[in-house]
Amino acid sequence: MDTEAVRSFVLAAELGQLQHAADELGVTQQAVSKRIATLERRLGVQLFTRTARGVELTLDGQAFLPHARGIVTGVDRAITAITPGALRIDVLGFRSAQAVVLHEYWRSRPGIHLDVVTLRENDPRAVVAALRSGEVDASFRTVTEPAALPHDVRMIHAFDSPLELLVGPRHPLASANSLTPAELRRHRIWVPGIAPRSEWADFYDQLATTFDLRVDGAGPHFGNEVLLDTLAESADVATLVGARDRYLWPAGYDLRRIPIVDPLLVYPISLLLPENAHPGLRPIIDHLRNLPPLSGQTWRPSWGLMQI
């Protein structure tokens, strides 16, 4: 099986458009379309249906997606394990705040050999195992019970990511310049695909309990494109995004990112690294510690308070 075709399928499923997958891979949309068509012939099923807004998974595509992700993860691990000299850092996603901050660092030092990967692991134990085996040199993940870390892996506070509310133009909060957590009550905040026992599942549980919010994690996450489509069409659905996270949508969607204040809702980003850390991590850690601090009152989950 052509693993690059599988990679193209995974990205198209997550991003919702063949062109966005092509942009991520650095190839043409036609190349991605041909790869997926070849994969569909190989499997004997249709993986996508084409719509005016992009592509949507068929039932066969939904069934194949988690296994395809496993294939891509395995290939990435095999390649990074033999990449000489590269500083390999795991991020939650290539449009996440962690990737954005790393990109800013790389732009200031373009000569460094930096390999940014995503392990696509929800279980922190698997991430710790990847660190201990040398598959990655560091990981932007959080272990909510630091005492559970093995003696040769440590966790440091990397930076704080304030949350924003993302809504469509017909949402009742769309005209606000900023919002307080109290103003979010009774509004549905949709965060699909929250993985059980993950750090973000614990974060949203604590957030909803503290501020009496309606955080709805129902349904699978079919990618950001589907989420953005839903927000653009809805008059009552909102979601939460990190202030540094990158999202792209058509201009006609007129989505709004609204800061949340009094207090700032902060997602603490941690960095896991082995005790015998790669020497190239030191300047990156210094860069993280020199990021501008947040001002004003803040709220963090319980495990975030231990990192300050």
Query: Among candidates 89, 97, 86, 143, which has minimal Cα distance to 118?
Result: 89
- The CATH T-level fold of domain 87-159+268-305 is D-Maltodextrin-Binding Protein; domain 2 (3.40.190)
Contact 69, 62 (CB under 8 A): no
Q: Domain ranges in the chain?
A: 3-74, 87-159+268-305, 161-265
Rounded Cα distance between 211 and 201, Å, is 16
Q: From first to last of its 308 residues, what are the pLDDT tens digits of the chain?
A: 899 999 999 999 989 999 999 888 888 999 999 999 999 999 999 999 988 888 999 999 999 999 999 898 888 777 666 655 678 999 988 889 999 999 999 988 877 788 888 887 777 888 899 999 888 999 999 888 878 889 999 999 999 999 999 999 999 999 999 999 999 999 999 999 887 778 888 999 999 999 999 999 887 778 888 899 999 999 999 999 999 999 889 889 999 999 999 999 999 999 999 988 888 899 999 999 999 989 889 999 988 765 54
Q: Which residue has the tokens 């030092």?
A: 109
Best CA proximity match to 118, nearest among 143, 134, 135: 135
CATH 1.10.760.10 fits 3-74, yes or no: no
161-265 matches 3-74 in CATH topology? no
Counting Cα atoms < 13 Å in the Cβ hemisphere of 130 gives 30
Which H or E run contains 184? helix 181-184
Q: How far apart are CA 167 and CA 174, in angstroms?
A: 6
Cβ contact 255:242 at 8 Å: no
Q: Which CATH class is domain 161-265?
A: alpha beta
CA distance 167 to 232: 7
**Distance from chain centroid for Cα 13:** 15
* Reported pTM: 0.70
Asked if residue 274 lies in contact with residue 132, where contact means CB atoms within 8 angstroms, the answer is yes
Token code pair at residue 283: 């300047």
Paired strand residues for 48 = 57
